[in-house]
Structure 1
Amino acid sequence: MPSRSIVVVSGGLSQPSSTRMLADRLAEATVADLAARGLDAVLEVVELRGLAHDVVDMTLTGYARPELAAAQSALAGADGVIAVTPVFAASYAGLFKSFVDVLEPGTLDGTPVLLGATGGTPRHSLALDHALRPLFAYLRADVAPTAVFAATDDWADAGTDDVQPLPARVRRAAAELAQRVAAREPVARGGLYDSVPSFEDLLGGA
């Protein structure tokens, strides 16, 4: 079965994280939809919480440590991306934006992206359209029309469509991403970051 690479970026700061939970739901639905289209999905999850120090270091030095460089390379070689962030102060999390800031220009050019966000109350859902969508438009990504926001109350009885609409919205957004991924030629593996030396290499292992 032909395969496609799906990279999931989770900006959750706690463990366990509702942001990671939403990211996993979106990934599961995307994998199922791709399978229905005759495509296998190779999933890779990037947890930004574990990369926080590396992101700050790269912001200051311009060089990525190996784990961050691997995450950047995965995005550059992705056929599709699921990006989910918590909402703080009516916008994406600072760590999420800092990670985007250290991506090489052109990393997400034309890449299908599904956007998601989590927050305490539904009023934070506006961040999807006034913060996240403009950010990924600037990155020239192919953003799926349906974005998914999950507030705290959305997780209660989230398994049934007749109780609340989160599961149906997840499936619709995943189908839009899968359709975009299936319509494109698979990305040639090996991306923008393969020739970028790590900070350790530049220091000679010091």
Structure 2
Amino acid sequence: MRLVVVSAGLGVPSATRLLGDRLAAAVTGRAPVEVQVVEVRELAVEIAHHLTNGFPGRGLSAALDTVTGADGLIVVTPVFSASYSGLFKSFFDVLDRDALTGRPVLIAATGGSARHSLVLEHAMRPLFAHLRAVVVPTGVFAASEDWGAEGLADRIERAAGELAALMTGPSAPRPPKDGLAVVPFAEQLAALSPAGPPDA
């Protein structure tokens, strides 16, 4: 199985990339996955060209194919102006609108203050719900003070476990190439719970 990390960090090194790497490592400890990373920063010029002329460059085209072929995604963005970065959004704007249908996605973000943590629920979760992805219940936000503090490691492990369960469970989404697969909500819950699906 292929796990793809989409990181929109701008710096080198990047706290955003570091969070993506830690989440991916936690998933690999639970499921047999091959990890690939898409650094959106490296595709900024090609994304801008694609938005204006409608044609992806070679690097962007390869990145879009990588995301489309993933069995699960970890998407990580820094917080700018109380939301995901424009570069992060632009990458998903040029992705085919059906590419993430039924795909398990773990959302994560980094920011200077814990006050920005609501970006997960107010911006990122609605975006991937609109793209018809299956977003895991636990999102992970890391503020500057979270690195090395208690709590972040537990959130990473919990979110990684949820993503691994969706990727490997008996009802793991496997969307066909036409992007029309629909996974019933009860089946999604069953993949996350060892007790099985809830009673009707």
Question: Is the contact between residue 8 and residue 78 of structure 2 (CA under 8 Å) also seen in structure 1?
Answer: yes
Q: Please tell me the residue identity of whatever aligns with 2:58.
A: P
Q: Given that residues 76 and 191 in structure 1 are in contact (C-alpha distance below 8 angstroms), is that contact kept between their aligned partners in structure 2?
A: no
* Structure 2 Cα separation of the partners of residues 15 and 47 of structure 1: 11
Report % sequence identity: 51
Hey, what does 1:23 align to over in structure 2? 20
**Alignment partner of 1:134 is 2:131:** no
1:84 to 76, 88, 94: 76
Deviating 4+ runs (over 6 angstroms): none
CA distance in 1, matches of 2:34, 2:174: 12
Matches of 2:4 and 2:175 in 1, distance apart? 13
Q: Report if aligned partners of 2:166, 2:173 keep a CA contact under 8 Å in 1.
A: no
Cα–Cα, structure 1 residues 111 and 185, in superposed 2: closer, same or farther, change >3 Å?
closer
Partner of 1:9: 6
Gaps of 5+ in 1: 35-39, 159-163, 193-206
Contact 2:78 2:84 in 1 (8 A): yes
Q: How far, CA to CA, are the matches of 2:8 and 2:30 in structure 1?
A: 24
Measured after TM superposition, the shift of residue 43 of structure 1 is 0.8
- CA root-mean-square deviation: 1.5
Q: Does 1:44 align with 2:36?
A: yes
2:27–2:163 Cα contact (<8 Å) kept: yes
Question: If the length of structure 2 is used for normalisation, what is the TM-score?
Answer: 0.85
**Superposition pairs of residues 62-77 of structure 1, within 5 angstroms:** 62-77=54-69
Question: How many Å separate the matches in 2 of 1:68 and 1:185?
Answer: 25
2:89 maps to what in 1? 97
TM-score, normalisation: structure 1: 0.83
| Deviation readout 1:11-50 (Å, 9 max, x if unpaired) | 001111000000000000011111xxxxx21111000110
**Which residue of the other structure, out of 104, 107, 117, is the alignment partner of 1:115?**
107
Tell which has more relative contact order, 1 or 2 (C-alpha 8 A, sep 6+).
1
- Out of 51, 67, 72, the residue aligned to residue 59 of structure 1 is 51
Q: Is the 8 A contact 2:102 2:173 kept in 1?
A: no
CA–CA distance in structure 1, aligned partners of residues 55 and 35 of structure 2: 26
Query: Which string of whole-angstrom CA distances, capped at 9 and with x for unpartnered residues, describes residues 52-83 of structure 1?
Result: 00100100011111110011011111100000
Residues 73 and 191 of structure 1 are in contact (CA less than 8 Å); yes or no, is this contact kept in structure 2?
Answer: no
Change (3 A) 1:186 1:105: closer
* Distance (whole Å) between structure 2 residues aligned to residue 105 and residue 48 of structure 1: 18
Structure 2's unaligned 5+ residue stretches are 180-200
The one of 156, 161, 173 equivalent to 2:159 is 173
